[in-house]
A and B are shown apart, each in its own frame.
Chain A
Amino acid sequence: MKLTSEMIDGAQVVRVEEERIDASVAIQFKDRMRELAAGASGRVILDMGRVGFVDSSGLGAIVAVMKLLAPATKLELAALTPTVGKVFHMTRMDSVFAIHPEVPGEGMRHAV
């Protein structure tokens, strides 16, 4: 489970460098996020732009990470791909997370 992290505009942006967050990696994802965001405060934005598929175990892991980080840190999501967005919508978990169409600052970086 490869995740990379950088600070953008005061938020920790964690990019998921995987095509899937599914039952076979859900626990790894939770553990890696716990390590990466340890000591974070403020916002952690999960860049989901490369993730084409999330199943209900993967979704559960993302919710679990949000709980782990709270209350000091708020987990937000960005750049959901269509099938992933569908899973969030159908489970109504899109009402639980702040979901950004794209990663904040992304447009600026591309322009440089």
Chain B
Amino acid sequence: MQSDATAHAPDQAGESARFRLQASEREVRRVLGRIMAHLGDGLAEPDRGTVEIVLAEVLNNIVEHAYARCPPGRIRLFLTPIEEGLACRVEDDGHPMPSLVLPDGRLPDISDELDLLPEGGWGWSLIRSLTADLIYERTARANRLTFRIPVSWKACRDPDRDMVARQRVAGG
């Protein structure tokens, strides 16, 4: 059973798929489409949704906050399928996290008054709830976020299709 999980995880040698994008909302949408295509049918539906939610929130945060009030820079994304899920590393060259600490991810309060209902502030709660081993590091010029999304790879995969997807990613 254990050999199945490793044998069928894409990039079983630990090779990362690498994505680079300009920090904009349009680019985030585009790269998410590429990532979901790259993951192919290796993940069952609820896990696909989980991956997309997490990566969307992480990337949008970088667009909105790390690159706020400065020309949009680059975002680098490394995704490595491992037995325990999808290992992710996301780097940007934007502003550091305030106080160099990740937000705690508390859900915004839901008021009984309609006017006071939150219109945002859910991102870190979603990220923290759906990931494990979340680490933020600030290097001299860059932010680096590493985390794991604990998803299960499906036992049956089509290696040819994954290979095509990987080549396409490598070329793009």
Which residues of A come within 8 Å of B, CB atoms?
20, 22-24, 53, 55-57, 59-61, 63-64, 66-67, 70-71, 82-83, 86-87, 90-93, 95-96
Q: Which residues 131-161 of B have a CB within 8 angstroms of A?
A: none
With contacts A22-B29, A90-B129, A92-B110 taken as known, whether A83 is within 8 angstroms of B53 at the C-beta atoms is yes
- Main SS of chain B's interface residues? helix
| Stretch among B11-19, B55-63, B76-84, B93-101 lining the A interface | B55-63
Determine the chain B residues whose CB is within 8 A of the CB of A67 once the complex forms. Answer: 114-115, 117, 119
Q: A22-B25, A90-B125 are in contact. List 9 more A-B contacts (CB 8 A).
A: A24-B29, A56-B126, A57-B60, A63-B117, A67-B117, A86-B53, A90-B129, A91-B125, A91-B126
Structural contact, A56 and B123, CB atoms closer than 8 A:
yes
Chain A residues whose C-beta falls within 8 Å of the C-beta of B56 in the assembled complex: 22-23, 53, 55
B49 within 8 A of A: yes
User: B86 within 8 Å of A by Cβ?
Assistant: no
Is A87 a contact partner of B126 (Cβ separation < 8 A)? yes
Chain A residues, CB < 8 A from B130:
90
Say yes or no: B25 contacts A95, CB within 8 Å. no
Assembled-state Cα–Cα distance A64/B129 (Å):
24
Taking a contact as CB atoms under 8 Å apart, the answer to whether A57 and B120 are in contact is yes
- Give every chain B residue within 8 A of A86 (Cβ-Cβ): 46, 49-50, 53
Chain A contacts of B60 at CB under 8 A?
A: 22-23, 55-57
Contacts of B29 in A (CB 8 A): 20, 22-24
B contact set with A: CB distance below 8 Å: 25-26, 28-29, 45-46, 48-50, 52-53, 56-57, 60, 63-64, 107, 110, 114-115, 117-123, 125-126, 129-130
Whether B118 pairs with A63 at a CB distance below 8 angstroms is yes
Asked whether A91 and B122 contact (CB < 8 A) given A53-B52, A63-B117, A66-B114, the answer is yes
B122 touches A59 (CB 8 A): yes
- Least CB distance from B162 to A in Å reads 22
Which residues on B sit within 8 Å (CB–CB) of A93? 110
A61 vs B60: C-alpha distance when bound (angstroms): 15
Q: What 6 A-B pairs are tightest by C-beta distance, nearest first?
A: A83-B49, A24-B25, A60-B119, A60-B120, A23-B25, A55-B56
Hey, which chain A residues are within 8 Å of B125, CB to CB?
90-91
